[in-house]
Homo-oligomer: A and B are copies of this chain.
Amino acid sequence: MGVVRKTKAVKRLLSLFEPGVSAISAVDLVSQLNAEMNKTTVYRVLDRLENDGIVHSFMGKEGIKWYAKCTSCSSHHHNDIHPHFQCTDCKKVTCLSVEVSIPKVENHTIENATVFLTGKCGNCA
């Protein structure tokens, strides 16, 4: 951990995560940064940030990848198995700080869980 070098690209990308708590899709990041850097760079910086536990990623309903800042993850352990929520109106995706109880299942060793919720957010309801 702490291996990610704070290059211009890294700083710029991280700045986009600052304003709110929303997650951002890779596609959105690529298009926002289109004029400033190559999409390959965006994808590679995201990879590095994720490996280093600075952001985490998850797959959205439409098969595109979303990224959000980790609050308590390291490169060794992404310990917040929190649900992600997408508003069906404004399409915004947020991390929810709620505990999810992962059910025990006979004959299965569960190592990881992803919970993706959809509905209406406060603004749109």
Residues of chain A touching chain B, judged by Cβ–Cβ distance below 8 Å, are 59-65, 83, 85, 88, 96, 98-103, 105, 107-122, 125
Cβ contact within 8 Å between A110 and B119: yes
| 30 pairs from A and B in contact (CB 8 Å cutoff) | A59-B59, A59-B60, A59-B61, A59-B62, A63-B63, A63-B65, A83-B113, A85-B108, A96-B103, A96-B108, A101-B101, A105-B117, A107-B121, A108-B121, A108-B122, A108-B125, A109-B125, A110-B118, A110-B119, A111-B118, A111-B119, A112-B118, A112-B119, A113-B115, A113-B116, A113-B118, A114-B115, A114-B117, A115-B116, A116-B116
Copies, count:
2
Give the nearest-CB partner of A62 in chain B: B59
- What residues of chain B lie closer than 8 Å to A122, measured between beta carbons? 107-108
Q: Bound state CA distance, A60 and B88, in angstroms?
A: 20
Q: How far is the CB of A48 from chain B (nearest CB, A)?
A: 20
Q: Per DSSP, are chain A's interface residues mostly helix, strand or loop, or mixed? A: loop
Cβ contact within 8 Å between A108 and B120: yes
- What residues of chain B lie closer than 8 Å to A116, measured between beta carbons? 113-116
Q: How far is the CB of A86 from chain B (nearest CB, A)?
A: 10
Q: Bound state CA distance, A34 and B60, in angstroms?
A: 28
